[in-house]
Structure 1
Amino acid sequence: MAPLNEEQLEQKRLERKIQIMRAAIKVFADNGVKLTKISMIAKKAEVSHGLVYHYFTSKDEVLYESLEWAMERNRVIQVFHELNESQLSPLEKIKQFTTFIFTEGDTETNSDVFRIIQHLTKSSDLPDNIYDLVEKSGQFYIESLFPLFAEGQKSGEIIQGDTEELLGIYLNVISGIMADDPTWWRKNIDQKADILLRMISTR
């Protein structure tokens, strides 16, 4: 077999790094950042402990690069675009987003990213680069959902009150479910999403 050329070697290195980052996202989401160890990531990725350090210098670097990589792949931006283009009512759009958050984790890293962001928003000792990444992501969810909540209040679909506070309650509830175990929610998701949204709905 002919030796790999430089381009092929680089592709192999990228594939191995992605393998580690994909595993890291899952481990960070399931265990939280503080409890996650490099050895846990290596085990999930099915690579040696030392190989992780070949690609990353620290756990913080694994977290930052993995989160940045996963955010770039996160389909949530496309989902919000599709919702904004749709003729659904504000409450129906929020339900679609809720369903997306709980179900997409089966095939992609979307729900895991959401869980990690929620873990990190409660941390007070983050490195600046990770803090900025979390702030950017959290702000995206707020800026995307706030107009839907405001529009829903205006149309009478969503209960009145401080819109920002109402959105905060909704996100905290979603975060709590995601931090626990979203698997149960994926069964009969439509019915469960309807029940969940009763806390903000006037119906």
Structure 2
Amino acid sequence: MARNTTKNNEMRDARLKSIKKAALTLFASKGVAATKIQDIAKAADMSQGLIYHYYPSKEAIYLEMMHESLDKIIGAVMSLKAMPLSASEKIKFGISGLLDIIADNEDFSQTSHLIMQTVFMDMLPEDEKSKINQKRDIPYREIEAILTQGQLDGTIYEGDAKELAILFWVTINGLSLVKATTLDYYVQPQAETLYRLFIKE
């Protein structure tokens, strides 16, 4: 019985992963509004009925994907903040790690693109958009706190730490957007180039 339960859970997890992978590719290329459940079913090599067994709508797939992605980003930023490093070392570590993810993980670029579109999606309930937007604010606030500490110890440039936090994430999100939409032109910048935006020599 336990073996069957384990196999069933593994099959369920594999199906959910396939559904979300197919949906991400379609949402990023066609947009959420233009994507139909039948498109996702075809891309995932499943029946529409099986898709509906797991999700009541494409919006439900989208929302689950966005919450999972934002929770991962929040967890990573919280871990970064808790590291026994100086503020400037945390910023370097964060930039280097995010650049590696952008370079190696196509899903990250596509997901970043979709997260930024959430506010414009009329099909989503306002309370759900509000929840996503509240989560989107958390990484900005945590990076702001790290930058503020760096300003206190003299390693981060002076100025409004909130503005610097916005610059940090706009740079990362902008790179993700360019990577997701202009693959032929995209060139990954060196981490040291971004360090100089925040860290004093």
TM-score range, shorter chain: 0.7 to 0.9
Contact 1:158 1:200 in 2 (8 A): yes
- Percent identity between matched residues is 27
Contact kept, 8 Å, 2:70 with 2:136, in 1: the verdict is no
Match of 2:87 in 1: 90
**What are the ranges of 5 or more consecutive residues in structure 2 without an aligned counterpart?**
none
Partner in structure 2 of residue 99 of structure 1: 96
1:135-178, Cα deviation, whole Å (9 max, x unpaired): 23212202321111111222232222221122112212211111
Match of 1:58 in 2: 57
Aligned to 1:21: 20
Alignment root-mean-square deviation, CA: 3.6
Query: Do the aligned partners of 1:20 and 1:41 also contact (CA within 8 Å) in 2?
Result: yes
Q: Secondary structure at the residue paired with 1:198? A: helix
Shift of 1:69: 4.0
**Structure 1, unaligned runs of 5 or more:** none
Letter in 2 for 1:141: P
Matched, 1:135 2:111: no
* Partner Cα distance (2:30, 2:164) in 1: 28
CA-to-partner distance for each residue in 1:24-55, whole Å, 9 max, x for gaps?
34544565544544455334433344532342
Q: TM-score normalized by structure 1?
A: 0.72
What does residue 158 of structure 1 align with? Answer: 156
Quick check: 1:75–1:110 contact (8 Å CA) kept in 2? Answer: no
1:81 CA drift (Å): 1.8
Instruction: Give the conservation status (yes or no) of the 8 Å contact 1:33–1:119.
Output: no
Q: Which amino acid aligns with 1:85?
A: M
When the two structures are superposed, what TM-score results if normalisation uses the length of structure 2? 0.72
